[in-house]
Amino acid sequence: QCFHLLENDVSGRGLCGASHWTTAKQSSKKSSSKLDEEGLEIDMEIFAYPLFLQKNLAERSQGNIKFFCSDVTCKYFPYLQRVSKNCPEIQSLLDMCPFLSVMHAKAHSWKCEYGGAYQEGSGSTIGEEVEQVNSFLSRIAITTKYMSKSGRADMITMQAMSWNKCKLLNLGQALVHRYLKLCKSNSAVKTALKLHDDCVVHQWVSDVQQWAEGNRGADSEHQKANTASVQSNR
């Protein structure tokens, strides 16, 4: 309630880029007819949800979480910046690096696609863990649909715990495979573009980072030189 009093409602449909998904709003005005059988809102994610999750996770981790991934990050984080000016107790949440999940970013503007997979220290995180879990849990749908509500909840809980255990046991192997795959991909791209200087690649990364932050620098001399070099190599 404090956040609603401090922050005026922002008009608009909450769209980003050419997307038609209206899932990012400060508040919801849906009628009760738009609720499902459990009383949950359909096709709507107000900013209070990710704020609650981020705040509680930050308190439990004691500041050890460095990244924050959400489907509505591009609209939510500016809201968090405004609200934190009046609520000093949540200003520490701004220290996290926000990014959109890979699949959801495809429906947003191009800048939003420059997300977690390209941030240093993120480990090429795709941010689609929930969707992967849902795909895994769908295997038991043909069984759980004949169970009672309590039995269904117990079965889904057991499967989710099994998924988390498997991810933990396979984490080392998965990171090694991901690292080797990225090394091979990097070498293949360098060979295709006839690049022998890592400084050029690092400069390209810096250019894209500046562009994503709003400092396009499209007319910089080094960008022109890099573009001419690639075109001549082709």
Q: Look at residue 139 in the predicted model and tell me its pLDDT.
A: 84
Q: What is the pLDDT of residue 40?
A: 43
In the chain, beta strands by DSSP E: 24-25, 45-46, 67-69, 97-99
Position 38, amino acid: E
Task: Indicate the pTM of the whole model.
Answer: 0.56
| 14 backbone φψ class: left, alpha, beta (φ>0; ψ -120 to 50) | left
pLDDT in tens, 147-203: 888 888 888 889 889 988 998 899 889 889 988 988 898 888 888 888 877 788 788
Residue 195: beta bridge partners? Answer: none
- Rounded Cα–Cα distance for residues 159 and 140 (Å): 9
pLDDT of residue 39: 43
Distances 54 to 84, 128, 231 between C-alpha atoms, Å: 13, 17, 45
Indicate the helix (H) or strand (E) that contains 164. helix 149-169
Lowest mean per-residue pLDDT among 17-26, 41-50, 78-87, 186-195: 17-26
Secondary structure class of 98 (helix, strand, coil): strand
pLDDT (0 to 100) of residue 14: 59
| Other beta carbons less than 10 A from residue 175's beta carbon | 12
Q: pLDDT at position 169, please?
A: 93
